Amino acid sequence: MPSRRDIFWLAGTAGLAAINLGDAVAAVKNPVRVRTITAGVELSPALELERVEAALTFLTRAKQTLTAAGYEVQTVRVASNPVIASLAPAARSKALEQLRKIDQLIAAHGAVFSTGPIATEDRTDDSLIEWSQELVRATKSISISTVIASPERGVLPKVAALSAKIMVALAQTLPEGLANFRFAAAANIPAGTPFFPVAWHQGPDGFAIGVETPAVVERAFASLRPSDDPTEKLRGALNEVLLPIEKLATGIAQREGRQYVGIDTSPAPLKDRSIAAAIEALTHRPFGTGGTLEACSIITAALKSTAVKSCGYSGLMLPVLEDPLLAQRAGEHRYGIRDVLLYSSVCGTGLDVIPLPGDTSAESIEGLLRDVAALATRLRKPLSARLFLVPGKQAGELARFNDPYLTDSVVMKLD
């Protein structure tokens, strides 16, 4: 006899049938979007505006090329080397004025900017807490991160503790806790990663592409026959849509004299393109129930073995607040935060926009960040944590957001 929760799932699935049918048609017409073209630049402590402007001019031309080829390009972004991390507190404070100018320039071009990690050495620097708050108050389009683990040094516990304090402080800096949308703790994230907030750059001017392909994944699994190997099926579907993008990217690189870093093959979801729906197309069960871990592994095996030059995470993204079906399954108590961390061991990018109670302590967050860092170190893979403390909300309560990129969700329990 089905449980009440399964009856709820079946009813919800029936209710969504018309919506999913429309999405399926849209997926056939346009199964892939370009989530981002991210240009990388090396900046000195002077934070040269002209170098940022040159990157923006390049991005305008690159976007035109992809748009002319029929692709929807959702965002363009600029990421720099970790220049802020090299500055002393006094110089860092002076840099805020130049970052305001960069923010104005970036916003005028409809772009966003990442400074790269602001803490890369394992030491305590509590001045970064207030500095991070000042940055998000003074700017609208700048993201920052910290390094809580690196391939060379392993787990950085002092930075994990600092990162937790920054998250707690940022939760009170902007309404609805939205400041944490622009901050993440990064573990083993390589240079050239196109996705924010952890993107950073090193070396000659370059660019990378991030894609939105949950519709490709869902379509591939929905058409599986009993004799098909799901990994092979998905790999073929991904190659079919990614290789033409790579051809365009290599042409752009040749014309512009800019290094092409690669495509982050992670199937980034958005409100109308659900990675949870894609996983359920394979398992035929609600996300979070038995078979989810295997499905995550199958998808990642395909993502890691495409024929294109890959970069960044190239793993499965499970952003709770950006995927309505993921949020729904969390509200049904199908999975929890530790489950997402478990899925990350075989597939994912870590903990992304996870809604937490607003009064979660820095000590509790630090423990979770160190777990993420330890997992990334042990498995030698890139992971990150973007945790969303929701002011005034407790675990199990519904959090609502006015932000167009975030979906309403129950607040998840940390411990």
- Residue 225 maps to a domain: yes
Contacts of 68 (CB under 8 A, 6+ apart): none
* Model pLDDT for residues 114-144, shown as the tens digit of each residue: 999 999 999 999 999 999 999 999 999 999 9
The verdict on pTM exceeding 0.95 is no
CA angle 404–61–80, rounded 5-degree value: 70
Neighbours of 97 (CB within 10 A): 10
Does residue 6 form part of some domain?
no
Give the CATH number of the domain where residue 283 resides: 3.20.70.20
Inside any domain, residue 18: no
Residue 5 located in a structural domain: no
The answer to whether residue 25 sits within a structural domain is no
Number of domain units in the chain: 1
- Looking at the domain assignment, is residue 3 inside a domain? no
Average pLDDT, the chain: 92
DSSP H/E element including 326: helix 324-331
- 343 lies in some domain: yes
Q: For residue 298, tell me if it sits in a domain.
A: yes
- Cβ–Cβ < 8 Å for 202, 147: no
* Residue range of the domain that includes 256: 31-410
Q: How far apart are CA 201 and CA 199, in angstroms?
A: 7
Which pLDDT score, from 0 to 100, does residue 6 have?
A: 40
- Per-residue pLDDT tens digits for 50-78: 999 999 999 999 999 999 999 999 999 99
